[in-house]
Amino acid sequence: MIIAVRPVDSSKGAQWQVCLDQQAITFRSEQEARHFVATLEARLQAPHELPHHELPRYEPELRP
């Protein structure tokens, strides 16, 4: 995933965008944008365990 932080000019004044591939999220300041990126990267790099589901045991029917 490509993550970029860039300044943007808008009708609301100078803002900052975090671009994640094709998605852009706008922030009021560079500090907010960089804090978001730091949190996102930490979560992406954190260890993740896959849920472990046991499959039901196959027990053939006993027919008389």
Alpha-carbon gap, residue 8 to 5, rounded angstroms: 10
Residue 26, in any domain of the structure:
yes
Residue 22, in any domain of the structure:
yes
Per-residue pLDDT for 60 more than 70? yes
Residues of the domain holding 17: 3-43
Report pTM: 0.69
Per-residue pLDDT for 14 more than 80? yes
As a whole-number percent, the residues of the chain with pLDDT over 90 amount to 55
Alpha-carbon gap, residue 40 to 49, rounded angstroms: 18
Residue 49, in any domain of the structure:
no
What's the confidence (pLDDT) of residue 57?
79
What's the confidence (pLDDT) of residue 23?
95
Alpha-carbon gap, residue 18 to 46, rounded angstroms: 20
Query: What domain count does the chain have?
Result: 1
Phi, psi of 2 (to 5 degrees): -90, 125
Confidence of residue 64 (pLDDT cuts 50, 70, 90): low
